[in-house]
Chains A and B, each alone.
Chain A
């Protein structure tokens, strides 16, 4: 059986670090289980690390005494973080223009396009399905 490539949006990655008022934790855990069983591979742009860490800093305002373990989990998750290339930047810019979404939202879609992968997101309002990028709502995973 072939292994499916999945891009996880930062709105999904945070589910593995915080349960506070978060929806669809079961679906997020299912994703990790499928990685363990080598059914899927997870990818995200390097940007995800910055967004998630900023959410811990400014959103959750985790005290310094516990943040070390949260960061350790973030950096040990089985996600392949991909650096941006000129090609990815051009694709993301085009998607951002076409869908009138932020470059941040589009960069995850561009990676999905580039790796012929599915984007799983809890931000379905902005990351819409297009002809070239398959987007799945975490709720439906």
Chain B
């Protein structure tokens, strides 16, 4: 326990935040299991909601015979659906996520927070480690001891994975600094009921600041670029970064999701504030 606390001093804080906040899930859902929450759509729970005219194919067990006797019209009773949400938390474990220890820690903190928030609503929670390939893991804290792996681009891996084809909530924690099309990424998660994208960047990745001749090395493949961090270069980069974020945010919103951005140097309070502001979480 003590070793665990040394490497993850903010654990208690994360757990306290999980107690205080909850995930803000979307109204529309495609549940595959019966759960404890009531959904807004008609389902097969015992709680009567409404009736509708019978059409060929409806479940005949739900024909309201009393209403037929009264009206000579075949109608079907509609019951409030029970929601058992599925939450898939995809954590980017490529080498780019550990360019700084703080960035790696933020990723772990976010994964742990979302994991706790998921457990809180008794969601079926699955954790996925998106590195060289996609692997499921059970404990978000395993991220602290696992090694990040090289990843060229995660999209093909995601597109091939089976969980993206089912509904539920998808939460992806990444820096989104791989070459990709935001439209394609959002389309990959088109089956999700809710998509939450959380971008974690280092302070330099967010705002390089003007400087001198610098060699930028890609953490994934060790390619490098020599740039001069003059005003034009920095502004050009920030413009591209903002365009990426704007595009992601817009598309996620269209897909009834949320996009949050965090820096590795931000405090946990700032982290929570961002998540609240972007509608990822709300106060319980």
**Binding partners A and B:** no
Residues of A at under 8 Å CB distance from B? Answer: none
Residues of B at under 8 Å CB distance from A? Answer: none
